[in-house]
Amino acid sequence: SEEAMDRAYAELADYEAAWTCGSFALYEQGADAVWRKIKDFPFGAGGGTPAVPAQGGYSIDAPSLRP
């Protein structure tokens, strides 16, 4: 209910959480609806050009991906 959501929002207003994250992962959902990890991307792996996986036929040079 809306009242329960308002109460939860108020009760959790001061809640904080922190954790260390050393990487993120790329997953792909198969035809069988199962998500599988394709690749890990560690943070701070350092230097050079970042490793960016191919995105559905688009390249990093696509105009929409330029800063």
The verdict on residue 12 lying in a domain is no
Write the DSSP assignment of 16-66 as a string of letters: -------EEEEEEE-TTS-EEEEEEEETT--SSS-----BTTB-TTSGGG-
Q: Is the pTM of this model over 0.85?
A: no
Q: Is 67 helix (H, G, I), strand (E, B) or coil?
A: coil
- Per the structure, the complete domain to which residue 29 belongs is given by 19-43
In this prediction, residue 45 carries a pLDDT of 59
If one counts the domains in the chain, the total is 1
The verdict on residue 38 lying in a domain is yes
The verdict on residue 36 lying in a domain is yes
Beta bridge partner(s), residue 36: 28
The verdict on residue 24 lying in a domain is yes
Contact at 8 Å (CB) between 26 and 16?
no
The verdict on residue 3 lying in a domain is no
In this prediction, residue 31 carries a pLDDT of 95
Can you give the pLDDT of all 67 residues of the chain as single tens digits? Answer: 999 999 999 999 999 998 888 889 999 999 999 999 999 999 885 555 555 555 565 555 555 554 5
